[in-house]
Amino acid sequence: MIRTRFTTIASVALTLVMLISMQPAVQAQTAATARASVQTASGVQSPAEFLGYELGERFTFHHRMVAYFEHVAANSDYIALEHYGTSTEGRPLMVVYISAPENLNRLEDIRVNNLRRTGLAEGDPDPADQTAILWMSYNIHGNEAASIEGSMQTVYELANPANRDTKPWLENTLVIMDPSLNPDGTERYAVWFNQVVGRHFDPHPLSREHREPSPNGRLNHYHFDMNRDWAWQTQRESQLRNAIYQRWLPHVHADFHEMGGYRYFFAPAANPFHTSITDWQKEFQTTIGENHARHFDAVNHLYYTGEVFDLFYPSYGDTWPTFQGAIGMTYEQGGSWGAGLAVTTPEDHLHTLEHRLGNQHRVGMSTVEVVSRNHDRVAAEFQRYFDTSRNDPQTTYKTYILRHDGNRDNLRAMLELLEAQQVQFGTAPARRNLRAFNYQTGATEAISTTGEDIIVSMYQPKSVLANVLLEPRTTVVDSLTYDITAWSLPYVYGVTAFATTERLNPEGDADAVLNTAPQQAVTDPVYAYIFPWQSFEDARFLARLHREEFRVRLTSEPMQVGASDVPRGSIVITRHNNDHIDGFDDAVQALSAEYGRTPIATGTGLNPASIDVSSESVAFARAPRVVMFTGEDVSGMNMGEVWHFFDWQLEYPITLVDMDRVGQLNFFDFDVMVLPAGRYNSLLTGTTGDRVSDWLSRGGRLIVLENVITQIGSLRGVDVPEAKSPDEEEVDAMDDRLRVFGDRRREGMSSSLAGGIFRTHIDVTHPLGFGMPETYFSLKRRTDAFEYLNRGWNVGHIPADGFTSGFVGYKVKPVVEESLNFGVINVGRGQVILMVDNPLFRGFWYSGRLLFSNAVLQNM
């Protein structure tokens, strides 16, 4: 079949090229060539025959699972396999296409026809082709390993010539199966478990085989939860998967997981539903659930539906496909609390891997069955979804207007994320007067567009997804949600934005606005090159200069250089001190071109209208040596966010030291210490605490995140800010002693904060605030709040009317408002930098990256 063509498409670059410029003629030719070279084989082995053990007897290593899928693909006319890249640690990522041979022979036609249904490919869809496209994703949480085992049974039964049930399904349905979305986590779990299990499993819940150490297999290499990353795509695996997902856009997406307990959860999902979810999407979830229930009833297995797992936060494996026209679902088998091969439940029942993987297989087969039975309706409703999006979008706002205000970096980064998800945009018509919601002020006001504005119209195929990501306030149907409730991209990226109910059509290509002026050839002798400090891209550029061993200076005061305003924090590279750089001018210009920076090249150090280029206020900035601590007492996910930030975002070295080694560490080997959330008793108290205090007073810089703020009081000269609590009278007024037991879940929400956006006022004259806007929108996920620092700089504080978007309990809001967010305490020549909110949360809050970069790179 055409599997050979797919196995050769290994590189991302090629996949992306295909995405951008489809050339059916060329591809058809390649496919024909490939067909001729592949022999049809027979004899698909069962998983047990191939692996040498029955599924459920042990956890399968990732490479053995890959080998099994390759075996099935090589021996069945019903399967074609495509590698779509490699994980962070280099393991293959792949999907298999499962359908009747005649469908696999015209796979490219099916794909293009489907994109025509959406309007993302040119031409009208062929009404005769009603092939349903079902995508099944497994094991995004690597330690929820029953699904990967079950996936092998499912691919076998779909390919097995002796299974007569499945073949009619595959006449009208294309199944795309990704058996392992998180290979590194999968392998981490399997290797660990196989190391600790004895000759026979031990079902005692406290035996070590049920107690996985940190970092556990749920997370990927950088300890990210990739089931929170579908929309933000900060992780390599998410980016690669998005590229292939966008080529297909399936009609149904099932995401296989495991949860606590030992029951099974399947669709329909629970409130809160995002308001954009259509009646058809809800209806077919119910149809699917009914089919599963029938199969579970037949074997008397325990299950439930509709109580948990909301469809709201857009970066899950159920919501993200849902907002792109699919029926998106999470399936959850009980067992991820460490059930291992078998565990005794509180009911004295032996809960086995065999049972768990059997259910994952059962639900997978049932999904293929019910989709096939409804294939024509599924395909037709998918098309209708996109017809509605393009012609009659059901959104409040019809156009989003984005403005760069002279700094294009944040806007460009935001548009890249939208573009990767096939959201279309273009330039605005000039001088259109209209009323629009202003994201900065929260008011609806009269504005006038300019030809430099970028607009995203809701009259386009991906309008639902675009609207969910851009709308200023998410509409909560019910306040009980499972994750953060605020993510509006203009706040995430710090982009000036407006939303209007008027329809505007894009006029021109956004590139004309986004691309900065070309580099100017410099002919006169240059005294210094100056780079304004405005965005995270400038921080990445500085990190690179440090890596290349340029000697750089940073200005702590504004400068006027010729006609250019140079803001605080800007980078100054003087010819003096840089004799060691070969071909100095060429080197600076090559690097600035690589990063899209436009230098101000000055031939003199004299600035008549401001401080001079070599002023004392333009101080040498040494490349900081950074260390972070790891270990059982450190939040693995928070640590991973910082680690990923340094490795992939800032691209700057960081040393990770286990807390066990703190006693041996010479703190003076480092300039900056980062303490992610965790417990740091052994570091911050006793004689080690004294050593940290010495290091601080002699110029060290300590960055503490979230709960670490309450632990730094043991350091010399550091006062922990006072915790804020609700006003006594307010508490009395909210007497809840006579509350009703049945309302307890909802009551609990009054003092919770499900992730909300709060306006934070930044002191942009402090180095921690350099280059930042005066209003930074901060994602707040924790209810603890602090009074302003008495001795120190309250660089970021949440003002009285700071609440902007999201769900915040009424008891929490007054505590969080008028509180400290980012502070700096000077200790001798050093500083402690406090971050109440973690600006690197999940790696997606783009505008927080500059703040964190300042904490590391700016002189203080």
Tell me which residues touch Zn ion (CB under 5 A). Answer: 141, 144, 257
Residue 190 or 454 with smaller CB distance to Zn ion = 190
HSE at residue 456, side-chain half, CA atoms within 13 A, is: 29
Residue 144 or 237 with smaller CB distance to Zn ion = 144
Contact by Cβ (8 Å): 322, 338: no
The amino acid present at 593, given as its one-letter code, is A
Contact by Cβ (8 Å): 757, 741: no
In whole angstroms, the minimum distance from the beta carbon of 144 to Zn ion comes to: 5
Residue 142 or 830 with smaller CB distance to Zn ion = 142
Give me the DSSP letters along 206-229.
Answer: TSGGG-PPSSPTTS-TTS--GGG-
Residue 144 or 817 with smaller CB distance to Zn ion = 144
Residue 71 or 257 with smaller CB distance to Zn ion = 257
In whole angstroms, the minimum distance from the beta carbon of 143 to Zn ion comes to: 9
Contact by Cβ (8 Å): 496, 402: yes
Between strands 454-457 and 399-403, the pairing is antiparallel
Contact by Cβ (8 Å): 754, 806: yes
In whole angstroms, the minimum distance from the beta carbon of 336 to Zn ion comes to: 6
Cβ-closest position to Zn ion? 257
Contact by Cβ (8 Å): 112, 36: no
DSSP state of 630: E
Between strands 303-305 and 264-266, the pairing is parallel
Residue 258 or 817 with smaller CB distance to Zn ion = 258
Count of CB atoms situated within 10 Å of the CB of 603 = 12
Residue 400: alpha-carbon gap to chain centroid: 22
In whole angstroms, the minimum distance from the beta carbon of 227 to Zn ion comes to: 6
Length of the chain equals 860
In whole angstroms, the minimum distance from the beta carbon of 257 to Zn ion comes to: 3
In whole angstroms, the minimum distance from the beta carbon of 338 to Zn ion comes to: 14
In whole angstroms, the minimum distance from the beta carbon of 217 to Zn ion comes to: 11
In whole angstroms, the minimum distance from the beta carbon of 238 to Zn ion comes to: 15
Give me the DSSP letters along 299-355.
Answer: HT--EEESSS-EE-STTSTTHHHHTTTSEEEEEEEE-TTT--SEEE-TTS-EEEHHH
d(CA 225, CA 227): 5
Residue 144 or 641 with smaller CB distance to Zn ion = 144
Contact by Cβ (8 Å): 80, 3: yes
In the chain, what is the straight-line distance between the N-terminal and C-terminal CA atoms, in Å? 64
Residue 144 or 537 with smaller CB distance to Zn ion = 144
- Positive or negative, the CA dihedral 840, 841, 843, 847 is negative
d(CA 841, CA 838): 6
57-81 burial string, b = 16+ CB within 10 Å, else e? Answer: ebbbebeebbebbbbbbbbbbbbbb
Residue 317 or 689 with smaller CB distance to Zn ion = 317
d(CA 213, CA 325): 39
Helices 236-248, 12-20: axis angle to 10 degrees equals 30
In whole angstroms, the minimum distance from the beta carbon of 476 to Zn ion comes to: 23
d(CA 99, CA 133): 10
Between strands 433-438 and 775-780, the pairing is unpaired
Residue 182 or 488 with smaller CB distance to Zn ion = 182
Residue 303 or 439 with smaller CB distance to Zn ion = 303
In whole angstroms, the minimum distance from the beta carbon of 85 to Zn ion comes to: 22
- 580: exposed, middle or buried (C-beta count within 10 Å: 0-12, 13-18, 19+)? exposed
Residue 141 or 221 with smaller CB distance to Zn ion = 141
In whole angstroms, the minimum distance from the beta carbon of 205 to Zn ion comes to: 20
In whole angstroms, the minimum distance from the beta carbon of 65 to Zn ion comes to: 18
The amino acid present at 740, given as its one-letter code, is V
The partner residues of 97 in beta bridges, in order of sequence, read 80, 176
In whole angstroms, the minimum distance from the beta carbon of 62 to Zn ion comes to: 17
Residue 70 or 144 with smaller CB distance to Zn ion = 144
